[in-house]
Structure 1
Amino acid sequence: MPGQTAISGVVPPGVAEATVMTVWPSVASTSIGQTLGRLYRLKGGFGPLSLGRMALLATIPVGLMLYLSMRLPWAIMRYRLTNRRVTIERGINPRVEQYVDLDRFDAIDVVVSPGQEWYAAGDLVFRRGPIETLRLPGVSRPESFRRTCLEVRQSYVSVAALQPVPVGAG
């Protein structure tokens, strides 16, 4: 069309689904990881040797095995924000397990469970009013992903409100 210029990397939701951001769950998404996080926070001890630091040294093999087990081809998970929805995907060839459309939530809460704070992680809880529509467990540094999700949602909802209603719809 004359007078219109395409913006590189921008795809309208009606044309195709495009990835905006992808994050991976941390070990804080697991109960073992949360238990280790609670253990690592222990302050007691003497000098620079706290109980938490000694526990960290003693459990390095456990933490390493936990991390590597989350990276196995059949177990790997990712959280993907697109121009249409937020998805939980599993597997080396991503398979969508759960999702919420961008117009199906109006708030995102960050819930930090005991043990997750050591990892600077938390769960993102997507809500539509009082109803939880999706939960992303163990997101590392969740506030930046939360903000990005809300910004993309606002753009999506604003553009959708301006779109003409197709003939026969509604």
Structure 2
Amino acid sequence: MTTVAAYRRPPISGVNTDAETPVMTVYPSIACTGLGRLHGKLYESMPVKLFGVKLSHWLFPLPSAPGAIMLYFYLKLFGVRYTVTNRSVQVWKSLGNRMLKQVSLNEIDDIAIAQDPGQVFYRAADLQLLNAAGEVILRLEGIPFPETFRNLILETRDARRQTDASHAVIAARHS
């Protein structure tokens, strides 16, 4: 006699409770480094406008472009990437499969945005993931368009909490 394992449908349609699924991956801009922030400060140093564009945008980006491009490629090879999954926020090496840090979405209470002066040019900032006590549990540096990534993390966290609550209600029904 052979037994056939019955297929168990997930309690919530389309939600796989067993697997950790990536939602979004972001690579930091060169504004995550001191040299990149130095470039950014230089690019924003002269607020006087010429034809609607800051004078420093006319003068400095082109001559400093080779250094910025080298820094960009260095980060792609030896930097990090940030991944939000349905369960956590993770820091990985840019290349390869080595995870450096991980924070569960349930540990995140709020996310603060901290923008250094050298990050303004790149429209980037650091995200500080805070726990319930207000302590920084993880810092994501040089995130381009940080408000968008912050909202994604918070919405994913809320979805995780709602899913967990739904599973608890369903489990209580079967008891």
Tell me what 1:23 maps to: 26
Code of the residue aligned with 2:137 in structure 1: it is T
Tell me what 1:158 maps to: 162
Secondary structure of the residue that 1:42 maps to in structure 2? Answer: coil
Tell me what 1:41 maps to: 44
Q: How far off its partner does 1:25 sit?
A: 0.6
Separation in 1, partners of 2:47, 2:120: 18
Tell me what 2:130 maps to: 127
Matched, 1:138 2:142: yes
Matched, 1:149 2:121: no
Q: How far off its partner does 1:130 sit?
A: 1.5
Matched, 1:68 2:68: no
2:97 to 91, 94, 110: 94
Tell me what 1:50 maps to: 55
Does the CA contact (< 8 Å) of 2:87 and 2:105 recur in 1? Answer: yes
Q: How many residues align?
A: 160
TM-score of the two chains, using structure 1 as the length reference: 0.84
Q: Quick one: structure 1 residues 162 and 91, their matched pair in 2 at CA, closer, same or farther if it must change by over 3 Å?
A: same
Separation in 1, partners of 2:57, 2:84: 35
Matches within 5 A, 1:73-84: 75-84=78-87
Separation in 2, partners of 1:51, 1:109: 30
Identity rate, percent = 33
Q: How far off its partner does 1:57 sit?
A: 1.7
Separation in 2, partners of 1:104, 1:153: 9
Look at both structures and tell me which one has the larger radius of gyration over its CA atoms.
Answer: 2
TM-score of the two chains, using structure 2 as the length reference: 0.82
